[in-house]
Amino acid sequence: MAGSTIDHLISVTVFLGAILIFISLFNQTLQTAILYQRHSALATKCSDLLDNMLLNPGIPEDWGKSDVTPVGFGLQDPEFTQYRLSPFSLMRLRSSVGEPVYYPRTGLTYSNITMGLGNFLLVPYSEAINYSAVAKLLGINGTYGFQLSITPIVTVSIEEIQRKNPLILSVKVTGVNFPLANAHISYCLLTIPIGGGSGSYPFYTIDYGTNFTDAQGSVPLSFPYVKQEVSYVFIVYAYLGGLMGMGYYEHVTYIGSYIIPFIDDFAEGRMLIAHSYDVHNDTDTAEITYNATFVVLAEDFTLRSMSVENSTGKLTYGIGWPYAYVTIPKNVRSNPGILVITYRKSAQETGVVLMPWGISSLAFPVVFGGDPTGQEWVATDIRQVTVNGVAYQAKLALWSLGG
Amino acid sequence: MMRTIEVMLVIIIILGAFMIASFFAVLPSPREVSPLNLRRLALTTLQLLDSNYSLSAAAFVDEDDSSFAEVTSQLQIALSACLPPNIIYNLTVYQVLGENSSELYSYKWSISNAESLGVGSDAASLLVASSNVTFRVTPEKIGERGFGGTLYILNCSDANGWWVTGYTTHSLAQDLYNLLSPYFKTTVMVQNTTDLGKILNGTSLQGETVQNAVIINTCGEAVPIPSAYSDGNYARYCHFLGNTTRLYNWTWVSIVGYPLYYVSNINAFPNNNNTYGIYGMIQVGPAGLNAFLRGLDNQAYSYNGNSITNSLSEPVYLSSEARYYCNYYGIYPSPYQTSTRALPDSILTTYHLPESRVTYIFNKVGSWIPGAVYRHVASGDNKITGSLFALGLTRTPDIRLTVLGLLCAFKPRLYRSEYTATNATRLVVLQLGQAGGI
């Protein structure tokens, strides 16, 4: 009787132990399969969502060129099909990497994409489309998080070899870790000659040219007419076999006070021109004058300058008239271009700042959305896109918020 | 002891079940779980490379061409430059063969940056056309699926034009004929005011259908007037024109300026000029358009000499619909123009031209309409009875805007030829794989 009971107890104990082990083994297999399934579904969702963003222009379709809040989200250029994105819709996305800028004179906070000193894109929060609004429009609010990165494929880096007599610049064009040999380049050099005295509006000259890169994707360019050190900006477009990219380089002789352009109104093409002291509270409060021009890329890949309304003016910090307006003419407002603003404190102290009108004009990257850091699983997908002819790569990182 | 043995047996059975289940439940490799969509990447890469037709040009270079090495080298550089470093590719070009061939495609050449594309790859293809290909487009004829289909172009040799500076009415008529006749069943050049008089009385000139026709007045602000109507009351003639437009459901087209501001007949008014030295013409003034609109709305004639147009200070812009049809029909006038004879939107209610039936060629500016096709719908009715297409732009007329406006209003379809031109189409296949990993 006792032996039978012991046999019973041992067998039940062993059986229960074995069952528990097998349950955990099966459970582990099932869990892995479920996770795989979930991750696979996330990857599919990522691909679908990326196409959804890139293959429709949104509602209304010209929301990028206006001040309206879209009721449907999409980034496609409404004038084209396929993966061609609107340079203006991208401009209205609130950057998730740049430190926001608060400008006390308007009392507004601005979304900030700054690519080095003198290259700004500052969009007021009231005009920029934020992450949560887009998540709602895409129907993924609370279920998925995402980050959309639009990065130029072609990098054009410019190095100053010699500053004067003559000015020599070296241009290097690369793709994704690969030099673009024999690429056609089209460039524009805007220089601010010395002279004119304090207070006068800065005068500038523009020269254009074309060339080809060598087997290493480089080309040196010499400008013999630049005899002495001047402020200048050098803008380059590079083109090879359907790939187009751009780059720029500035040298300024005065950086104590400078111009900071803010976007004021998309629909009107109006920019607000601010004194750097009012934004950063720097030590230099010198009065500066400015002269603005708008440069567009023509179909033959050459650059053309267009005049803008109220192109010249004077800025003082904090008092009087602390900022001014520059308006891009209506007939060229729908074209992407570069707002080039030259400024001067004195005959020798000048500078220049750039602002893209349409994100592609200065090949600015855009990072929009949440932060994927720390997420359990992030699916990514990429597409090759063009933004006003400039080659970009669109990358979407997607993660589940459902645990 | 028996129970322990039984339990052991059960454990063996469950273990067997687990092993069998594990054997069959093969989990996908990590790369398959969250894959990069290589097919989409390949397609977008092909589209990117062909964004300026560079790929199309490269695909038609053959191996025996002197530029082959340079072209393929550039293509390889572009591919390597735009694809992520871990992506390997094979790009193959095929010739699309004709219907009479036993094969659909034949291999031409390929380029690759790896010997094999690894364990998993995906591909996308793009059809590219040679720049030598001519595509045929057959337009639908207006009136083919309904009524009308007649286009009258007033090319009256016995009438002068005004605000057509730089052109003659004859050259404008010829341009209109060339641009618009493919879209109409019948196009009739009305050569003199006598013929105009005939169609105003509903008489066909060449057996065409008078009802539902389109009449383009190429004389600008002047309108030809048959001698029979030159009785001194020219605003009444304009009223008659409006009335006739309503009766025959015509679309009356004014190509520039203030519509019906003058009447012209060289024989009837040999000694009269329009106060600017153009003889054979008499000024009616704003009363002409007012009377026309009254006639169009079946209102009794009364003289009203008040001007109703406005000169807009800012440029006016093509409407989104007009811009869409610019691309559809391949007509590209300047998208912004100067309008000095914009009509007020009050005419829409005064003369029963419902806004829902208006086709805007230019965007409205406040309450002013620079250019639009107005359709008359009588009160209590739903049927269109006559239309006016008025382009209130300043001289000189761009005749393409008239063409664009009419095509926007009637929207004839374009039937494009199929994309199967023999030896003129090539298929480019881009196959992508991922290097490294599992």
Here the CATH number for the domain that contains residue A342 is: 2.60.40.10
B78: chain A residues, CB-CB within 8 Å: 175, 180, 240-243
pLDDT of residue A38: 85
Question: Alpha carbon of B30 to those of A401, B23, B34, B437: distances in Å?
Answer: 21, 18, 7, 9
Q: What confidence tier does A197 reach under pLDDT thresholds 50, 70, 90? A: low
Question: Alpha carbon of A129 to those of A50, A65, A269, A367: distances in Å?
Answer: 17, 13, 18, 13
Determine, yes or no, domain membership for A83. no
Using a 10 angstrom Cβ sphere, with 0-12 exposed, 13-18 middle and 19 or more buried, the burial of residue A372 is: middle
Q: Model-level pTM greater than 0.95?
A: no
Angle ∠(A171,A175,A179) on CA atoms, nearest 5 = 60
Mean pLDDT, chain A, rounded, equals 87
Q: How near does any CA of chain A get to the CA of B317, in Å?
A: 9
Q: Closest to A176 (Cβ–Cβ): which among B8, B74, B84?
A: B84
- DSSP three-state, residue A182: coil
Determine, yes or no, domain membership for A367. no
Q: Closest to B41 (Cβ–Cβ): which among A175, A377, A382?
A: A382
Note the pLDDT tens digit of each residue in A257-273.
888 999 999 888 899 99
Class of domain B34-132+421-434: alpha beta
Note the pLDDT tens digit of each residue in A68-117.
999 999 999 988 888 999 999 999 999 988 888 998 888 899 998 877 77
Determine, yes or no, domain membership for A180. yes
Tokens of B44: 């977008």
Q: Closest to B10 (Cβ–Cβ): which among A15, A379, A381?
A: A15
Quick one: average pLDDT of B375-384?
A: 91
Determine, yes or no, domain membership for A224. yes
pLDDT of residue B103: 77
Q: Does B19 touch chain A (CB under 8 A)?
A: no
Q: Does B314 touch chain A (CB under 8 A)?
A: yes
What are the domain boundaries of chain B? 34-132+421-434, 137-416
Contact A330, A182 (CB under 8 A): no
Q: Closest to A242 (Cβ–Cβ): which among B2, B15, B51?
A: B51
Is pLDDT above 90 for B302?
A: yes
Determine, yes or no, domain membership for A401. no
Q: List the 216-245 stretch of A: residues with Cβ below 8 A of B.
A: 240-244
Which residue is listed with tokens 């222009």? A57
Q: Does A11 touch chain B (CB under 8 A)?
A: yes
Determine, yes or no, domain membership for A287. no
CB pairs under 8 A between A and B: 146
Q: Which of A173, A177, A179, A171 is nearest to A155 (CA)?
A: A173
Q: Would the CB atoms of A29 and B32 count as touching at under 8 Å? A: no
Determine, yes or no, domain membership for A384. no
What is the rounded (10 degree) CA torsion for A51, A52, A54, A55?
Answer: 90
Q: Would the CB atoms of A39 and B58 count as touching at under 8 Å? A: no
How many domains is chain A built from? 1
Which comes out higher in pLDDT, residue B401 or A311? B401
User: What is the residue range of A159's domain?
Assistant: 155-252+292-312+329-362
pLDDT of residue A368: 94
Residue of A22, A382, A386, A398 to mutate when probing chain B, most B C-beta within 10 A? A382
Q: What confidence tier does B185 reach under pLDDT thresholds 50, 70, 90? A: very high
Q: List the 64-83 stretch of B: residues with Cβ below 8 A of A.
A: 74-75, 77-78, 80-83
Using CA atoms, how far apart are residues B51 and B44, in angstroms rounded to an integer?
10
A70 phi and psi angles, rounded to 5 deg: -70, 150
With residue A327 as reference, give the H or E element that holds it: strand A323-327
Determine, yes or no, domain membership for A2. no
Q: List the 80-139 stretch of B: residues with Cβ below 8 A of A.
A: 80-85
Residue of A1, A4, A9, A11 to mutate when probing chain B, most B C-beta within 10 A? A11
pLDDT of residue A14: 83
Using CA atoms, how far apart are residues B418 and B52, in angstroms rounded to an integer?
22
